[in-house]
């Protein structure tokens, strides 16, 4: 019995020693496996962190640990410090607001085209009452207004009269005959009949013949079909306004027509212009000053001005135009 107890106790003691040894071994194994080392925090900025280079773990019992398996990872950037401004010279700063340039001169085009509106002309001598009185007291001077380019709105006419052609469809265009016409506008300024007229700016300049000439075409509305103008009476009125002309110069005017098939047509008659006086183009019938064979498919009516000779002095003014007809 005593021998059995002794053997059991001996076995128990050996079991306890073995268990302790196993615990020590397990502890040693745990310390021998090093965790992967982490990459250092990246410096401020957006750079990718360097790959983590795991240092070998310091294994227990002087056994070298397996190298750390630090996989490359994007280093988390540290707090970025705002860099000082670079020393480079800055780009050109936005310039100050530019001063608006003056309006350009009216565009010039071929005889079949339409020039730009150009500079809005100034009404030098307002006299709307003349047109109202003329239409009221001398209606014969303003009759057949329903077939006229009048530059008036329906409400501008005396009750029971008009209206003339819609100003929105009787547009003005400059041709390449010259560059002296600087711009145009429909205004209530100085009409021959009713209240409205077309005002055209003029700028004669020395140096070239083109700068002493100007020509304007007034469109008939698309609904007006003038396939054959032969036998039709024609009228038109202009008033040139401004200072005295350069000494020794003369200003001449001619009516013009435009045909869609014959091109630009120029009247045979040349009229001398007197400043600040109404000048009438009056051709009853129209073929009295144009070639009959050319009077087909008429789309425009107008006039040209020519200053001769080419003087050394510049001149600026305006011309008022009104009541242009090529009626049945």
Residue 22 lies in a domain: no
Residue 53 lies in a domain: no
Residue 309 lies in a domain: yes
Q: 185-214 pLDDT, tens per residue? A: 999 999 999 999 999 999 999 888 999 999
Q: 285-313 pLDDT, tens per residue? A: 999 999 999 999 999 999 999 999 988 89
> Pseudo-torsion of CA 7, 9, 15, 19, nearest 10°?
-170
pLDDT at 8 over 90: no
- Structural domain count of the chain: 1
Q: 81-103 pLDDT, tens per residue? A: 343 433 434 333 343 443 343 43
According to the model, what pLDDT value does residue 53 have?
A: 40
Q: Average model confidence (pLDDT) for the chain?
A: 75
The Cα–Cα gap between 114 and 218 comes to: 10
CB atoms closer than 10 angstroms to residue 14: 10
Contact yes or no for 149/170 (Cβ under 8 A): yes
Residue 248 lies in a domain: yes
The CATH number linked to 317 is 2.60.120.260
CA distances from 208 to 180, 304, 311, 313 (A): 11, 17, 10, 12
According to the model, what pLDDT value does residue 208 have?
A: 87
Let me know how many helices (H) and strands (E) the chain has, helices first. Answer: 2, 13
Residue 245 lies in a domain: yes
Domain range for 248 is 128-326
| Three-state SS annotation for 268-323 | CCCEECCCCCEEEEEECCHHHCCCHHHCEEEEEEEEEEEEECCCCCCEEEEEEEEE
Residue 249 lies in a domain: yes
Extract the tokens encoding 293: 């064979």
Cα angle 256-261-267, degrees, rounded to a multiple of 5: 20
The Cα–Cα gap between 196 and 138 comes to: 17
Residue 295 lies in a domain: yes
The confidence band for 67, taking pLDDT boundaries of 50, 70 and 90, is very low
Cα angle 42-48-53, degrees, rounded to a multiple of 5: 70
Residue 86 lies in a domain: no
């Amino acid at each position: 019995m005593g021998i059995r107890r002794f053997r059991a106790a001996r076995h128990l003691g050996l079991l306890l020693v073995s268990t302790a040894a196993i615990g020590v071994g397990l502890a040693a194994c745990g310390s021998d496996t090093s965790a992967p080392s982490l990459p250092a925090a990246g410096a401020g900025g957006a750079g990718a962190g360097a790959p983590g280079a795991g240092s070998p773990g310091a294994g227990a019992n002087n056994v070298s640990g397996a190298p750390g398996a630090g996989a490359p990872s994007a280093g988390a950037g540290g707090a970025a410090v705002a860099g000082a401004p670079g020393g480079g010279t800055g780009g050109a700063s936005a310039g100050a607001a530019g001063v608006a340039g003056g309006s350009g001169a009216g565009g010039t085009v071929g005889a079949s085209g339409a020039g730009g509106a150009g500079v809005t002309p100034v009404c030098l001598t307002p006299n709307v009452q003349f047109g109202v009185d003329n239409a009221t007291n001398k209606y014969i001077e303003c009759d057949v207004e329903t077939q006229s380019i009048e530059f008036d709105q329906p409400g501008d006419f005396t009750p029971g009269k008009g209206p003339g052609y819609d100003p929105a469809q009787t547009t003005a265009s400059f041709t390449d005959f010259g560059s002296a016409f600087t711009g145009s506008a429909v205004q209530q300024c100085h009409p021959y009949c009713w209240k409205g007229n077309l005002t055209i700016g003029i700028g004669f300049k020395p140096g070239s013949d083109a700068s002493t000439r100007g020509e304007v075409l007034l469109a008939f509305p698309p609904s007006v079909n003038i396939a054959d103008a032969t036998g039709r009476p024609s009228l038109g009125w202009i008033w040139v306004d401004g200072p005295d002309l350069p000494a020794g110069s003369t200003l001449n005017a001619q009516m013009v027509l435009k045909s869609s098939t014959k091109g630009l047509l120029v009247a045979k008659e040349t009229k001398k212009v007197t400043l600040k006086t109404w000048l009438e183009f009056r051709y009853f019938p129209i073929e009295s000053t144009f070639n009959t064979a050319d009077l087909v498919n008429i789309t425009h009516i107008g006039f040209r001005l020519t200053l001769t000779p080419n003087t050394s002095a510049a001149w600026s003014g305006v011309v008022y135009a009104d009541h242009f007809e090529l009626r049945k």
